[in-house]
Amino acid sequence: GDSVTQMEGPVTLSEEAFLTINCTYTATGYPSLFWYVQYPGEGLQLLLKATKADDKGSNKGFEATYRKETTSFHLEKGSVQVSDSAVYFCALTRYNNNDMRFGAGTRLTVKP
Amino acid sequence: SAVISQKPSRDICQRGTSLTIQCQVDSQVTMMFWYRQQPGQSLTLIATANQGSEATYESGFVIDKFPISRPNLTFSTLTVSNMSPEDSSIYLCSFRGRDWTEAFFGQGTRLTVV
């Protein structure tokens, strides 16, 4: 079945450091891929998404490119801020499929 | 985009009791989803709730333990019944956007069973 494998955390970075959180997936067909963020005490919010191969999702300085050849959707940010401290989830779904599969989540802590 | 409100945000409950979690959406949605997020783990789908029909449960989840109501297109409840400490988790409700790609989530209910 479909699955998402996500880089384990926790990750601790200094402010303005470069961030990469790895995500790879296994799925039949052409899934849509997502990164969700969960700030402390809140629900999940969509950070960015890509619905087909070679698409790049971007938001708030974060980017991820849908790489079908490597079945990956790595999250990157060039310069993290303290306010980026949160848990990040990689996820996939296929059209009209009820189940959205999530990775294990990566906790990011950014220190000033 | 629609707003989804979930309550309570957290609760501490005695084992053997039940807790009902409510989820309200400010627009009509066809399907709502209930997830469990166990400590340090990812989200697992519990069930899918359609208005006017019984919920569809995923493997490992049963109606007697997690009864769900869906009385209309804007509201759903999940009950965690006869709780044990193993039920301590975050429970989230969710619905999908019109293009069926993006999912929207409630704030989550952090349940601790003692």
Tens digit of each residue's pLDDT (9 = 90 or more) over B26-43: 989 888 999 999 987 889
Per the CB < 8 A criterion, the answer to whether A2 and A92 are in contact is: yes
Out of A42, A96, A102, name the one closest to residue B43 (CB).
A102
pLDDT at A94: 79
CB-CB under 8 Å, A95 with B43: no
pLDDT at A69: 94
- The pLDDT of residue B41: 82
Q: Which residue of B has its CA nearest to A36?
A: B103
Q: Kindly report the average pLDDT of chain B as a whole number.
A: 91
Instruction: Identify from B34, B98, B102 which residue to disrupt to test chain A contact, counting A C-beta atoms within 10 A and taking the largest count.
Output: B102
pLDDT higher for B81 or A3?
Answer: B81
Pick among B35, B42, B99 to test the A interface (most A CBs inside 10 A): B42
Residue range B85-107: mean pLDDT, rounded: 87
pLDDT tens for chain A, residues 1 to 112: 788 999 888 999 999 999 999 999 998 888 999 999 999 878 889 999 999 999 999 999 999 999 999 999 999 999 999 999 999 999 998 766 667 889 999 999 999 9
Q: To probe the interface with A, which of B4, B43, B61, B93 has the most A CB atoms within 10 Å?
A: B43
Question: At CB < 8 A and 24+ separation, what contacts does A53-59 make?
Answer: A57/A33
Distance (Å, whole) CA B36 – CA A26: 22
Mean pLDDT, range B42-57, rounded to an integer = 90
Confidence category of residue B2, pLDDT binned at 50, 70, 90: low
Going by their DSSP bridges, the two strands B10-13 and B109-113 should be labelled as parallel
For residue A60, the model assigns a pLDDT of 95
Name chain A contacts of B94, Cβ cutoff 8 Å: 100
Show the beta-strand stretches assigned E in chain B.
Answer: 4-7, 10-13, 19-25, 31-37, 43-50, 56-57, 68-72, 75-80, 89-96, 103-105, 109-113
Q: Which of B31, B33, B42 sits opposite A104 (nearest CB)?
A: B42
The Cα angle at residue A24 between residues A23 and A27, in degrees rounded to 5? 135
Contact B101 A105 (CB under 8 A): no
Q: What pLDDT shows up at residue B1? A: 58
Please indicate whether, in this complex, the C-beta atoms of A42 and B107 are within 8 angstroms of each other.
yes
> In which band, very low, low, confident or very high, does the pLDDT at B100 lie, cut at 50, 70 and 90?
low
Q: Which of A97, A55, A94, A90 is nearest to A74 (CA)?
A: A90
